[in-house]
Structure 1
Amino acid sequence: MDLTERAYSLAESLLSEPLPRRWSHSLGVAERARSLRPILGKDAELMEAAAVLHDVGYSPRIASTGFHPLDGARFLRDQEAMDERVVRLVAHHSCALLEAEERGLRKDLETEFELERPALVDALIFCDMTTTPDGECTTSQARLAEIIQRYGPDTIVGRFIQRAAPEIHAAVQRVEDQLAHAHEAGQPI
């Protein structure tokens, strides 16, 4: 079984029944990852695998700290021996260090999992933060507003996402610029 097949199977087994909306979101994020193939090159499969797995830490079967990037990455590393780069992307997806700081877990996340290269970090931020909870495409502005509304502005998630907003929007813009450049260069998008 190749990396993406394994990732889809595992994510489905952890999310589809207990968290169907989270599963729909993960499928949408993976679809966004596929749309980045023209700019990802040899890392396209890796990104799609990370995209479909990015929220597995929400699964009641594996949640332990309540911080899904850390729980998901630990599970993928320790129980599944998943590709190290996929694990790092899951651990650090969508500015997770800032949320880890809010939760008192920044040192744990930083010491256990290295950051992946910036272009891939940006790509996963783009995929996650331009996909609604139901798996549809959206803007990063609308996505962040939805997150703040859902969790509340004064919650851990609300505070984190407001702090992370400038970096999220900048990462999305960098990816959109790369896609536009690829389109201008005649690459199929």
Structure 2
Amino acid sequence: MRAGLSTLPDTAEELAYELLAPLGNRWRHTAGVAARAAELAAPLEIDRDVLVAAAWLHDIGYAERTVVTGFHPLDGARHLERLAWPAAIIGLVAQHSGARFVAAVRGLAEELAAYPDDSGLISDALTYADQTVGPDGRRVTAGQRHDEMLRRHGPASWNALVDHVRLPHLRGVTERVEHRLALAGAPGR
């Protein structure tokens, strides 16, 4: 740990940097998601430390040394479990952005189910942050992110195969979070 780091988000940022900085856009995306999560915590009245730490860690399963199954939410959660991170953060990483839909078609549903699915506002906030930041770390709409993801992964990808069930889930998350932000007087997107 770098000198002066004392909070969960700081420690998460350091681990994410160590694992993802060499991956270019993956690091830029992660930093953007963490910044977006930090903005969402107060207006949504959720635990900032847990949300921001999970945002920093949500894509660590892409790092070469974490890859076991090739499914980044599961690989990231397993890596965090080995490092004894809090269960709430591990569960958020495992379940972010509708991971359960992709896990089902990849034959990994049972393995993913070993990690708790909060399914509450903090989970929605992480997914919303992930789905409103593009690969280069810039803010995008959830629709733009969805379209970009399908183009990047391709029409035969796991994501495309489950889009008919995952997209309604992601739209529901977006609607719930943006509604809560509006109630709080905070801007969406």
Tell me if TM exceeds 0.5. Answer: yes
- 2:151 aligns to what? 149
Summarize the Cα distance change of 1:108–1:21 in structure 2 as closer, same or farther, 3 Å threshold.
Answer: same
- 1:187 aligns to what? none
- How far did 1:117 drift? 4.2
User: Of 165, 168, 172, which aligns to 2:167?
Assistant: 165
Contact 2:59/2:93 (8 A) holds in 1: yes
* Structure 1 unaligned spans of 5+: 185-189
- 1:92 aligns to what? 95
Summarize the Cα distance change of 1:73–1:94 in structure 2 as closer, same or farther, 3 Å threshold.
Answer: same
Post-superposition Cα deviations, 1:84-122, rounded to whole Å, max 9, x if no partner, equal: 111000000000000101110001111x11111411111
**TM-score, length-normalised on structure 2?**
0.92
**TM-score, length-normalised on structure 1?**
0.92
Partner SS for 1:146: helix
- 2:14 aligns to what? 9
Cα distance in structure 2, aligned partners of 1:43 and 1:68: 24
* Greater displacement, 31-40 / 19-28: 31-40
Contact 1:130/1:143 (8 A) holds in 2: yes
1:55 is aligned to 2:54: no
Name the Cα RMSD after superposition. 1.3
- 1:32 aligns to what? 36
- 1:77 aligns to what? 81
Q: How many equivalent residue pairs?
A: 181
Contact 1:131/1:143 (8 A) holds in 2: yes
Matches for 1:178-189 after TM superposition, within 5 Å: 178-183=180-185
Contact 2:46/2:122 (8 A) holds in 1: no
Contact 1:38/1:182 (8 A) holds in 2: no
- How far did 1:163 drift? 2.7
- How far did 1:42 drift? 4.9
Instruction: Give the share of equivalent positions with the same residue, in percent.
Output: 39
Post-superposition Cα deviations, 1:110-162, rounded to whole Å, max 9, x if no partner, equal: 1x111114111111110000110011111111111001111112221222344
* Structure 2 unaligned spans of 5+: 1-5
Which letter does structure 2 place at the counterpart of 1:152?
Answer: G
Contact 1:34/1:44 (8 A) holds in 2: yes
